[in-house]
Amino acid sequence: MRMVDALAERALAGGRATRDEARAVLGSNDDDLLAVVAAAGRVRRRYFGNRVKLNYLVNLKSGRCPEDCAYCSQRLGAESGVLSYTWLTPDQAVEAAGAGVAGGAKRVCLVASGRGPTGRDIDRVARTIAAIRERYAGVEVCACLGLLDAGQATRLRDAGADAYNHNLNTAGERYADICTTHTYADRVSTVEQARRGGLSACSGLIAGMGESDDDLVDVVFALADLAPDSVPVNFLIPFDGTPMAGRWQLTPQRCLRILAMVRFVFPDVEVRLAGGREIHLRTLQPLALHIANAMFLGDYLTSEGQAGRADLDMISDAGFVVEAAGEPTLPAARVDAGLPVTTAADVAPARTDLVRLRRRGAGTDLPPNA
Ligand code: SF4
């Protein structure tokens, strides 16, 4: 039996991959790619059927961040040309969220740039959450506001938030290479606070920042220690004007292997296709749906995604259906239980033409994409 088939069998029985097995999935070659996708696809089908959960991003506050995360187009001093605006009003956020809800999103993700929210920011976001809940009954709300202080998660939960997102992004050992203004421990602490505060924890990673296979395995197992309910997998968009500009290190095949590895470690957890999917997976995006059970619809925080209509067509053409509001995402049992680094020489020419800064939707006068 192939290693990946054995991994699938174990995942179907409730187990997960070991670190060595996760590393072996990343190190597998293109000849075995379809076998890897098929094995991960069996696991995805078992726990999530043919449903795709859609999440929709609303950037409540864009740019001007004092932190220096190297991958981020909103970082301190970035000359990336992204939209820069201060807090959307609750009405503006409701309007922005509406496009995603109309497109089939069952979760709205409210994001703000910055190190973390002040007490006033929490009050402001609480009003926004209430306004969204009032307008769109049954829609889940996730907040992503940076590092949390004690008690803030509880306040967000009491305001009606369902979940909190804070990504670990990369291996702890590498964290100081990508950020100097806060620590890995700060990030871990925020995810723990979100859970302790009664929020569903959403925490994931960014691939393509120069990490090794061991680094990817490290971050995925660090995430597993935090027991998140959802794991967004981002593929670096190397924005001009950031320290990561020009870092094009991913291939569509590599992205699929990363997703499969994450699935084998998180068999019954929501694995979400996140930023960079169009740019790095390109025409292989539909294959990724056989591994991930969720994705963002339409545009991202600072860059434009493919047309929302194209997202929906892709889901349908690949034989999947959009998960309906009110339909549980995670399996009942879970709810009840409460190799070599890719080098520049290996990769196809960078598709820099696919990176488009967002110039529509929240913070602009143009209609959003969903
Ligand atoms: S804290 Fe968030 S918005 Fe600020 S630089 Fe880091 S990732 Fe970007």
Q: pLDDT tens digit string along 124-159?
A: 999 999 999 999 989 999 999 999 999 999 999 999
What is the average pLDDT value for the chain, to the nearest integer? Answer: 93
- Which atom number of ligand 1 is nearest to the Cα of residue 76? 5
Is-contact 243 282, C-beta < 8 A? no
Residue 341 scores a pLDDT above 50: no
- The predicted pLDDT at position 343 comes to 41
Distances (CA, A) of 313 to 273, 275, 327: 16, 19, 21
Backbone angles phi, psi at 216, to 5 degrees: -65, -45
Residue 70 scores a pLDDT above 70: yes
> Ligand 1 centre from 284 Cα, in Å?
29
Q: What is the DSSP letter of 357?
A: B
- Hunting for tokens 């009840």 — which residue is that? 336
- The predicted pLDDT at position 182 comes to 96
Mean pLDDT over 310-330 rounds to 93
Domains of the chain: 3-354 (3.20.20.70)
Find the range with the poorest average confidence among 1-15, 214-228, 331-345.
Answer: 331-345
- The predicted pLDDT at position 350 comes to 74
179 is in an annotated binding site: no
- The predicted pLDDT at position 338 comes to 61
> Ligand 1 centre from 124 Cα, in Å?
19
Mean pLDDT over 301-305 rounds to 92
The overall longest dimension of the chain from CA atoms, in Å, is: 57
Q: Whose CA is nearest to atom 3 of ligand 1?
A: 113
Q: Whose CA is nearest to atom 6 of ligand 1?
A: 69
255 is in an annotated binding site: no
Mean pLDDT over 194-203 rounds to 97
Name the residue with higher pLDDT: 333 or 95. Answer: 95
pLDDT tens for 211-266 read 999 999 999 999 999 999 999 999 999 999 999 999 999 999 999 999 999 999 99
- Site to probe by mutation for ligand 1, drawn from 59, 62, 69 as the one with most ligand atoms within 8 Å of Cβ, is 69
**In percent, how much of the chain has pLDDT > 90?**
84
Residue 370 scores a pLDDT above 90: no
- Which atom number of ligand 1 is nearest to the Cα of residue 179? 6
Comparing C-alpha atoms, which of 184, 103, 112 is closest to residue 139? 103
Residue 325 scores a pLDDT above 90: no
> Ligand 1 centre from 179 Cα, in Å?
9
- The predicted pLDDT at position 334 comes to 76
Residue 193 scores a pLDDT above 50: yes
Residue 344 scores a pLDDT above 60: no
Check: pTM over 0.95? Answer yes or no: no
Protein residues with CB under 6 Å of any ligand 1 atom: 65, 67, 69, 72, 74-75, 113, 115, 146
CA distance 133 to 60: 16
- The predicted pLDDT at position 352 comes to 80
- The predicted pLDDT at position 209 comes to 96
CA distance 143 to 131: 14
- Site to probe by mutation for ligand 1, drawn from 57, 64, 65 as the one with most ligand atoms within 8 Å of Cβ, is 65
Could you give the 3-state DSSP secondary structure of residue 318? Answer: coil
Point out the residues that are catalytic.
65, 69, 72, 109, 142, 202, 272
Is-contact 213 339, C-beta < 8 A? yes
Is-contact 79 241, C-beta < 8 A? yes
Q: Whose CA is nearest to atom 2 of ligand 1?
A: 113
- The predicted pLDDT at position 339 comes to 35
- The predicted pLDDT at position 367 comes to 86
| pLDDT tier for residue 355 given thresholds of 50, 70 and 90 | confident
16 is in an annotated binding site: no
> Ligand 1 centre from 109 Cα, in Å?
16
- Which atom number of ligand 1 is nearest to the Cα of residue 72? 8
